[in-house]
Amino acid sequence: MSETRPSVLFVCVHNAGRSQMAAAFLTHLSQGRIEVRSAGSTPADAVNPAAVQAMAEAGIDLSSETPKVLTADAVQASNVVITMGCGDTCPVFPGKQYLDWKLDDPAGQGVEAVRPIRDEIERRIRGLLAELGIETA
């Protein structure tokens, strides 16, 4: 079954905020119908606490997530690669769809500043799901 599931990779430099929130929303909203990855070129030590708090307010637990390093294998294994407006570069492979979502950086921000970023990410994830033909509740 996993061969037919679309796969999406979210990339941001530190893999601690935007890409973690996007991956969590896509995992939650797709209910396992999409293989989801996230990674960064220079991953942080931990996920941004304000992002964890903002996502908890949306009913999604990020507390056990950890930033992961970006590998060429992760890019190659994904159908869609989405960079999060942080200027990160990914290896480019033919046949992949590449998108760049320009989003404010939540690093060093409080939860009040992270909420609108979270909400914009959710809006874009819902659009991505529609584009991929996957309905959400």
User: Known catalytic residues?
Assistant: 12, 86, 90
* Region of residue 87 (phi > 0: left; psi between -120 and 50: alpha; otherwise: beta): left
Q: Give Cα separations from 89 to 19, 48, 68, 100, 136 (angstroms).
A: 14, 21, 15, 10, 31
Separation of alpha carbons 91 and 71, rounded Å: 8
Q: Give Cα separations from 78 to 11, 39, 58, 91 (angstroms).
A: 12, 12, 26, 12
Q: Give Cα separations from 50 to 96, 106, 131 (angstroms).
A: 32, 8, 29
And the tokens for 94? 């033919």
